[in-house]
């Protein structure tokens, strides 16, 4: 079957749009177009690639759908670049798990396997005394300040865990573990708010036990003992996850809520 001239033209535009989108996507991923910068105006893109305005507009629509840019319309409009980062990865993983109807305890089990490994790796870092330990000690002090406030203590504790895994030296593992940790933080903070509203949040004594585990973990990292760091992390995660999993054992992972989107956007 032969296509009409208009259909041939439309297919040609779509192919050119894909080529333009691919070229711009490659530049963003390679760092040639930096995060937060603005893409060239449509006139410039038409001249650079030698394509039509409809092809350029379709290329921008493709990139916007993929999350690489945000297009502002109007006289002062433009396309702002969003280079993929750990927040992007975590959000995508979370949406996938939510679509699969994966439940909170499943996420917790994965994190309890991987986060202790990152703790052990931090204990092996030769620069741990200058980079890892001082920052974790700052977060310990923050957690101690909030021992009297359950919800705020949970948020401070999540900051501690988020920061700990960010020191993972292996880039691939760092992206994976940080994505899972951020996703767990969303679930735990939702749990903390629910517990506080019902007046059944774990006691100050329970919070103190968790805080002391953080202190022991930092001490293990500081003295360069990966086995101890890993053991303490495993024991601590197993103990603290029981609280959340008991209440959320049948709850599907939340990645699409406003709380989740805000965390990944600013993560």
Separation of alpha carbons 213 and 221, rounded Å: 12
Q: How confident is the model at residue 76, as a pLDDT?
A: 66
Where helices occur in 124-257 by DSSP H, the ranges are: 132-145, 150-166, 171-198, 204-222, 226-247
Separation of alpha carbons 155 and 33, rounded Å: 34
pTM summary value: 0.78
Q: How confident is the model at residue 89, as a pLDDT?
A: 87
Q: How confident is the model at residue 103, as a pLDDT?
A: 97
**Contact by Cβ (8 Å): 41, 22:** no
Strand, helix or coil at 256?
A: coil
Separation of alpha carbons 91 and 259, rounded Å: 12
**Pairing mode of beta strands 69-72, 78-81:** antiparallel
Q: How confident is the model at residue 2, as a pLDDT?
A: 44
Separation of alpha carbons 184 and 195, rounded Å: 16
Q: Would you give per-residue pLDDT tens digits along the chain (267 residues)?
A: 343 444 445 556 678 999 999 999 999 999 999 998 999 999 999 999 999 999 999 999 999 988 899 888 766 668 999 888 888 888 899 999 999 999 999 999 999 999 999 999 999 999 999 999 999 999 999 999 999 988 889 889 999 999 999 999 999 999 999 999 989 988 988 888 888 788 777 889 999 999 999 999 999 999 999 999 999 999 999 999 998 999 999 999 999 887 777 777 655
Q: How confident is the model at residue 1, as a pLDDT?
A: 39
Full set of structural domains in the chain with CATH: 5-81 (1.10.10.10), 86-266 (1.20.120.530)
Separation of alpha carbons 244 and 188, rounded Å: 6
Separation of alpha carbons 124 and 161, rounded Å: 18
Separation of alpha carbons 94 and 261, rounded Å: 10
Separation of alpha carbons 129 and 185, rounded Å: 26
Burial of 192 (0-12, 13-18, 19+ CB in 10 A): buried
């Amino acid at each position: 079957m032969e296509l009409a001239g208009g259909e041939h033209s439309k297919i040609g535009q779509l192919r050119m749009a894909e080529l333009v989108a691919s070229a711009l996507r490659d530049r963003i991923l390679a760092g040639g177009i930096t995060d937060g910068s603005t893409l060239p105006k449509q006139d410039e893109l038409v001249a650079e690639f030698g394509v039509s305005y409809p092809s350029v507009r379709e290329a921008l629509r493709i990139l916007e759908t993929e999350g690489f840019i945000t297009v502002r319309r109007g006289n002062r409009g433009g396309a702002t670049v969003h280079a993929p980062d750990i927040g992007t990865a975590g959000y995508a993983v979370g949406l996938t798990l939510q679509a699969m109807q994966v439940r909170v305890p499943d996420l917790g089990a994965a994190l309890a396997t991987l986060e202790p490994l990152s703790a052990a790796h931090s204990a092996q870092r030769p620069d741990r005394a200058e980079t890892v330990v001082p920052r974790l000690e700052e977060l310990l002090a923050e957690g101690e300040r909030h021992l009297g406030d359950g919800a705020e203590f949970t948020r401070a504790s999540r900051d501690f865990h988020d920061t700990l895994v960010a020191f993972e030296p292996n880039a691939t593992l760092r992206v994976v573990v940080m994505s899972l940790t951020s996703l767990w933080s969303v679930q735990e903070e939702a749990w903390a708010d629910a517990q506080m509203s019902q007046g059944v949040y774990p006691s100050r004594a329970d919070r103190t036990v968790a805080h002391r585990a953080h202190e022991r973990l930092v001490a293990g990292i500081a003295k360069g003992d990966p086995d101890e760091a890993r053991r303490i992390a495993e024991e601590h995660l197993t103990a603290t996850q029981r609280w959340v999993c008991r209440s959320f054992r049948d709850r599907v992972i939340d990645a699409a809520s406003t709380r989740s989107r805000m965390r990944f956007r600013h993560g």
